[in-house]
Amino acid sequence: MKWLSWKALDGLLRGATKGDSSQSQLDFRALLAWQVLLAAVYGLCLGFFALSARESPDARFLLGAAAKLPVLILGATLVTFPSLYVFLALFDVPLSFRQVLGGMLAANTVFATVIASLGPIVGFFSLSSQSYAFILLLNVAICGLGGFLAMRLVVKALADKPKAESAPARVNAPPLPTESTGETAASASDSISKTSPLPQPSGRVGILGVWMVLYAFVGTQLAWILRPFIGHPEAPFVWFRGKSGSFVDTVLRALGEYLGISR
């Protein structure tokens, strides 16, 4: 199998693996390669701001951000994977180690794909804007959208997953990367989101919610120590800024600046 298999990525997006992330068809290598590449692409687009907004363009921001984004995604996975596995095991979710890992890789890949697909837009706005606050908020919104879509995929996959003994054939059937399977998986999850969730998987979704808060915390904290990504136009280039401040504080400050409340 190729490292960068388009079929693997497109199949994932189209929901061929939505019902069950356990399948051997989930090509771990391809997902890993795609998420590293796509995260780097988004990082590159982030770096464009350093080409337009500073007095002298600094291409090192491009390199820095393109290298840091994959580190961020892989790092957050490494730190939070053990807790996810243990949480799910304690809540009787019949998923093997490999399945949990596959689900996590799939979610990360969706996240990387969504942000990278919005990358050209970020690149364009970065090149044509002078406002650091605007670019910062745009990027926070895009990462939020990517995170939301990735989480939705995981929640759907988990809500679809029945207990081992009462598994309906439909969900456990090996999903093939064909259009029809994608449709059934999608419509199945649609019907689930419309009707109230079954009592059984709701506990799992609950524990997943707790874990997601944990993940979000780890992700933002990791992102915080990896700063700068965009680079404030007046700050000189550094690879890392060291420990100071926090993510929430800065977002609130940028919002305040944009709305003219504070400076």
Q: How far is the CB of 22 from another protein (least distance, A)?
A: 20
Q: State yes or no: residue 170 binds another protein (CB under 8 A).
A: no
Classify burial at 79, counting beta carbons within 10 Å of its beta carbon; exposed 0-12, middle 13-18, buried 19 or more: middle
- Asked if residue 13 lies in contact with residue 26, where contact means CB atoms within 8 angstroms, the answer is no
Q: Of 9 and 223, which CB lies nearer to another protein in the complex structure?
A: 9
Distance (Å, whole) CA 168 – CA 249: 47
- Asked if residue 43 lies in contact with residue 68, where contact means CB atoms within 8 angstroms, the answer is yes
Q: What share of the chain is helix, strand, coil (3-state, %, to 5)?
A: 70, 0, 30
The identity of residue 173, as a single letter, is A
Q: State yes or no: residue 81 binds another protein (CB under 8 A).
A: no
Contact region for another protein (CB under 8 A) — 68-76, 130-138, 161-169, 235-243? 130-138
Binding track, positions 197-236, relative to another protein; x by CB under 8 A: ----------------------------------------
Contacts with another protein in 51-70 (CB under 8 A)? 52
List residues binding another protein (CB under 8 A).
10, 13-15, 52, 110, 113-114, 116-121, 124-125, 127-131, 134, 149, 153, 179, 182-183, 185-187, 190, 258, 260
